[in-house]
A and B are shown apart, each in its own frame.
Chain A
Amino acid sequence: NAGVTQTPKFRILKIGQSMTLQCTQDMNHNYMYWYRQDPGMGLKLIYYSVGAGITDKGEVPNGYNVSRSTTEDFPLRLELAAPSQTSVYFCASRQRTGGRIGALEKLFFGSGTQLSVL
């Protein structure tokens, strides 16, 4: 049972470079999220998706792009990396059903990607 898989685990970028953080889930969840966690801080939502083809901005979307072409995959693209994007990135998924049926749902997290922009 793989759950939520993120790659790579670590990456160092130079300022101005671009890269894509991969996220795949094998639980057929409809909702997927990208969070960033700066040192000593909480989780901030970057983007989320409620299903294939649908994405929406979170709290800190600037400098990032996402796509959701399939239920399984939710890649996060960094264009023109900046030192302010140095952070740990977490992908997460859940099956949102709402109401009392949703009482069993929870958020499943990947193991994180540690990104440094130098």
Chain B
Amino acid sequence: DIQMTQSPSTLSAFIGDTVTITCRASQNINIWLAWYQKKPGKAPKLLIYSASILQTGVPSRFSGSRSGTEFNITITSLQPDDFAAYYCQQYDIFPLVFGGGTTVE
């Protein structure tokens, strides 16, 4: 199975900061990676798919990038609503695997 290593597990930041979360795949997954936001008691929300395409309705302060098997999501000018957990998920092959998650606090 493909392993997805996400870092950091926790990230402390302030409103207005720019933050980056990294996800590394154990093998080539091309661009087949999505990013989700998860808040306690709420459903996950798709932010980015195909490594860098913003889901409809997601603010442009979110962006995604890929370099080989390393993927980043960057949040520019962090807003109060952005404090949450973030998960990457590969969908190149089954099983579909999530990264371990990053909590932005």
Are both chains from one complex?
Answer: no
Chain A interfacial positions (CB closer than 8 Å to B) = none
Chain B interfacial positions (CB closer than 8 Å to A) = none
